[in-house]
Structure 1
Amino acid sequence: MTHKVAIITAAGRGMGAAIAQELAANEYTVALMSPSGAAETLAQSLGGLGLTGSVTRVEDLQRLVDQTLARYGRIDAVVNHTGHPPKGPLLAIPDEDWHAGLDLVMLNVVRMARLVTPIMQAQGGGAIVNISTYAVFEPEATFPVSAAMRAALAGFTKLYADTYAADNIRMNNLLPGFIDSLPET
């Protein structure tokens, strides 16, 4: 039996690391990336692939997909997890912070989907899970960039899911609340 292969981003610590550990415990081979390098250490302990990189850099996402395919020959699942975008008073947030939030929260998912969709189509299916937030439905003034960009992500996810369902590719958003590993940002 071929083991399933899952890519997890921002998997060096916290929720991303917990997701990687759970998937590995359920017999997935994991390919992990984080900006800190912690994903490399975790991946080694789980028997997987670990890279240092950022979800905001297309070349890092491409390298993760390419090395995963080269090593394991398939990609069955992707968990798009990321850090936290800038925050501040709603109208005081500068444009560059809104753009950074778009890159970090929304465009990383679009870019990853562009990379893995043809692979999943060729394999006959796959699953993509985006870690989002409850604030999609109950925005908080504390995290305006996150709430707005993750609401946009919800729209993209619905469009993607409807478009690629016929190819047996699922995309869903997971909307957790606060977790203990949430950094002070």
Structure 2
Amino acid sequence: MTLPSSQFPDLRNRGVLVTGGGSGIGAALVEAFARQGARVAFVDIAEEPSRALCERLAAETGRVPHFIPADLRDVEAARNAAEAAAAALGSVHVLVNNAARDDRQTLEAVTEQSWDEGLAVNLRHYFFMSQAIAPHMRRQGGGSIINFSSIAFMLNMPEIPTYATAKAGIIGLTKSLAGKLGPDNIRVNAVLPGMIVTERQRRLWLDDEAIARMQERQCLKRMLIADDLVGPCLFLASDSSAAMTAQTMIIDGGVF
């Protein structure tokens, strides 16, 4: 990955938990925090890429992230994963709620089951992970929660009704949690990525034509990749953003 030029000394030895950290944006964040010297745990349902990431980072950095396999659609599993991370790290100062899945479905194809599944995958665990980690942050005098939303809900995309609803809901959740947890010096902010071209996006949804169309809408005429989310996330996790909470940060190359 391309490391950000900035270093954040206050992140060294801080406990960081990333959901969906085994691949894509999540893996870039796990690596970035590890290279900042943080103690990192991550949760993912996919074991093979997650273990491969741990092995690579151990070889390259000497730091081994703590991988917690869990299906975050299961609320009890999410709670257990949060407690496992807190136990492994000793404390959690930063929670990055990143895990998501942008399934496509037409309006007519949405069922009660697929609707509930979409919200479970993309929204529900953000709340329950935050609920579980907040007491650990409170006991240590504060922390930072970073929720990953998306600009997708602002693009009027017809094939993602559940995903768009969840990503819009994350903004409301961020505002509410910030109001509740602010008195405990726990900051809560949201990051809204634009079209981030990951291996999964390439495999499932994006071709060169789709990428070119989005670049035409962007002020920055280049492809955005997972590494573009690293700097903003490190900033929100660090003391550099100590007075920033209840905010949304759009990283989309200038679409909005």
Fold conserved between structures, TM > 0.5: yes
Letter in 2 for 1:184: L
User: Which stretch has the larger CA shift, 174-183 or 4-13?
Assistant: 174-183
Q: What are the Cα deviations for residues 9-30 of structure 1, in whole angstroms up to 9, with x where unaligned?
A: 1111111100111111111111
Q: Does residue 16 in structure 1 map to residue 33 in structure 2?
A: no
- Return the alpha-carbon distance in structure 1 between the equivalents of residues 102 and 179 of structure 2: 28
CA shift, 1:75, in A, is: 0.4
Answer with 1 or 2: which has the greater Rg.
Answer: 2
CA shift, 1:85, in A, is: 4.4
In the alignment, which residue of structure 2 is the partner of 1:57? 74
User: Which stretch has the larger CA shift, 131-140 or 105-114?
Assistant: 131-140
Q: What are the Cα deviations for residues 57-81 of structure 1, in whole angstroms up to 9, with x where unaligned?
A: 2233233222222222100111111
Secondary structure, counterpart of 1:175 in structure 2? strand
Secondary structure, counterpart of 1:170 in structure 2? strand
- Return the alpha-carbon distance in structure 2 between the equivalents of residues 157 and 70 of structure 1: 25
Q: Does residue 73 in structure 1 map to residue 115 in structure 2?
A: no
CA shift, 1:92, in A, is: 2.8
Which runs of 5 or more residues in structure 1 are unaligned?
A: none
- Return the alpha-carbon distance in structure 2 between the equivalents of residues 160 and 66 of structure 1: 19
In the alignment, which residue of structure 2 is the partner of 1:180? 197
Secondary structure, counterpart of 2:29 in structure 1? helix
In the alignment, which residue of structure 1 is the partner of 2:160? 143
Equivalent pairs, count = 185
Residue of structure 2 aligned with 1:39, choices 50, 59, 69? 50
Q: What are the Cα deviations for residues 61-106 of structure 1, in whole angstroms up to 9, with x where unaligned?
A: 2332222222221001111112314321124311111101111111
Letter in 1 for 2:204: E
- Return the alpha-carbon distance in structure 1 between the equivalents of residues 169 and 22 of structure 2: 26
Letter in 1 for 2:23: R
Q: Does residue 26 in structure 1 map to residue 36 in structure 2?
A: yes
- Return the alpha-carbon distance in structure 1 between the equivalents of residues 103 and 155 of structure 2: 18
TM-score (norm 1): 0.91
CA shift, 1:169, in A, is: 0.6
Letter in 1 for 2:54: A
Secondary structure, counterpart of 2:96 in structure 1? strand
Letter in 1 for 2:52: T
Q: Percent identity?
A: 26
Residue of structure 2 aligned with 1:165, choices 171, 182, 193? 182
CA shift, 1:55, in A, is: 1.6
- Return the alpha-carbon distance in structure 2 between the equivalents of residues 71 and 156 of structure 1: 27
CA shift, 1:145, in A, is: 1.2
User: What's the RMSD between the two structures over aligned residues?
Assistant: 1.8
- Return the alpha-carbon distance in structure 2 between the equivalents of residues 84 and 108 of structure 1: 13
